[in-house]
Structure 1
Amino acid sequence: MVATGDAAPDFTAPLANGDIEEFSLSDRLGEESPVVLAFFPGAFTSVCTTEMCEFQDRLASFNDLEATVYGVSRDSPFTLNEFREQNGLEFGLISDYNKEITDDYGIPMDFADLGVYGVAKRSVFVVDDDGEVAYSWVSDDPGVEPDYDEIEAAVEDLS
């Protein structure tokens, strides 16, 4: 599992931002960093919706700190665009449809009783200009949200 101080695994994946375009983490570093990667198990589920809406509510604070927020899930980019629209999300959502990012970050989780395998654990990684993970938080309990104030403080420490 990726932890604070590790090099953030680079990846290229579809970005749902109202349109669908290619996103590469390494291309965004420096220009948009720090980058906040907020992994969530699935769009349109209660806790995930609450979490992404909380990031939206705090988006101005992250923008003031010159940080860029992205949600990341196994959902298709088409599903993520609908999720963005229905919830008024103004930040991009990265589709890890092939589960490569989740695996590279070491955060897969199964809901075996539901027949759902390999979704992302609810996790947050703050990546600095150099591609180093400056903050990491991973929950084994999908019902627990991150400490948003702690994430903002980690971003502020990079300013």
Structure 2
Amino acid sequence: MVETGDDAPDFTAPLANGDVDEFTLSAALDDGPVVLAFFPGAFTSVCTDEMCTFRDQLSEFETVGADVYGVSVDSPFALNEFREQNGLNFGLVSDIDKEIIDAYDVRMDFADLGVRGVAKRAVFVVNTDGAVAYKWVSDDPGVEPDYAEVAAAAEDAA
């Protein structure tokens, strides 16, 4: 289990950013702290609300030099459509192989719906040294993070 103060698990995965590029966490940290916002699935109501809130508050993160990335198990092609439909101005990482959710220990199942292996709603702020500066994980996919708390953690990590 990844805790605050631990080295963040590094990963390389497809990045939906209007195109499909490669994203490596350790390389992204060269530009400043990174906010990883894990969400269960694109095109669902709470996930859409969460990603749109990050979109609307992105300037708060940019002001302190932090970059925000959404992370889900959706394909990069679905994530690009999700970005376009919601005017998201930050990249979405595709964990289609479910390796990132396993590394961060945020995998969950909706057994009653027959859906297995999606991300819990979770936020990790990783500082430029690669350490987890902030961690928030919810077992309830209907609960959104405290955005002001995440922004403050990103500022502290800068």
Deviation at 1:113, TM superposition (A): 1.1
Gaps of 5+ in 2: none
Instruction: Give the partner amino acid of 1:73.
Output: S
**1:15 alignment counterpart:** 15
Contact 2:8 2:131 in 1 (8 A): yes
* Counterpart check, 1:108 vs 2:107: yes
Q: Deviations over 1:79-133 (max 9, x none)?
A: 0000000000000000000100000001100001111101010000000011000
TM-score (norm 2): 0.98
Contact 1:30 1:130 in 2 (8 A): no
The percent identity for this pair of structures is 72
Equivalences for residues 130-149 of structure 1 within 5 A: 130-149=129-148
**1:66 alignment counterpart:** 65
**2:40 alignment counterpart:** 41
Gaps of 5+ in 1: none
- RMSD over aligned Cα, in angstroms? 0.7
Query: What secondary structure does 2:30 align onto?
Result: coil
For the residues of structure 2 that align with 1:51 and 1:95, how far apart are their CA atoms?
17
Contact 1:56 1:89 in 2 (8 A): yes
Deviation at 1:158, TM superposition (A): 2.4
The runs of at least 4 aligned residues of structure 1 exceeding 6 Å deviation read: none
* Counterpart check, 1:152 vs 2:141: no
For the residues of structure 1 that align with 2:100 and 2:157, how far apart are their CA atoms?
24
User: How many residues were matched structurally?
Assistant: 158
Instruction: Give the partner amino acid of 2:17.
Output: N
